Amino acid sequence: MVLEVALIDVTDPDGFEAAYLGARDILASTEGCQSVRMTRGIESPNRFVLLVEWESVEAHEANFRQTERFTAWRAAIGPFFAGPPRVEHFTDVS
Amino acid sequence: MVLEVALIDVTDPDGFEAAYLGARDILASTEGCQSVRMTRGIESPNRFVLLVEWESVEAHEANFRQTERFTAWRAAIGPFFAGPPRVEHFTDVS
Mean pLDDT calculated for residue range A62-88: 98
Rounded Cα gap, residues A19 and A30, in angstroms:
18
pLDDT band, residue B77 (cuts 50/70/90): very high
Residue of B42, B55, B80 to mutate when probing chain A, most A C-beta within 10 A: B42
Rounded Cα gap, residues A56 and A77, in angstroms:
24
Facing residue for A42 by CB, picked from B43, B47, B90 = B90
**Phi, psi for A5 (deg, rounded to 5):** -120, 120
On average, the pLDDT of chain B sits at: 98
CB contact under 8 A, A89 and B42: yes
**Please, what are the domains in chain B?**
2-90 (3.30.70.100)
Share of chain B above pLDDT 90, in %: 99
**A72-to-B20, B35, B94 alpha-carbon distances in Å:** 40, 34, 20
Task: Flag whether residue B59 sits within 8 Å of chain A, measured between CB atoms.
Answer: no
Which positions in chain B touch A37 (Cβ < 8 Å)?
92
pLDDT tens-digit series, residues A33-72: 999 999 999 999 999 999 999 999 999 999 999 999 999 9
Residues in Cβ contact with A22 at an 8 Å cutoff, skipping those fewer than 6 apart:
A76
- Is residue B15 within 8 A of residue B89, CB to CB? The reply is no
Rounded Cα gap, residues B79 and A25, in angstroms:
42
Q: What's the whole-model pTM score? A: 0.96
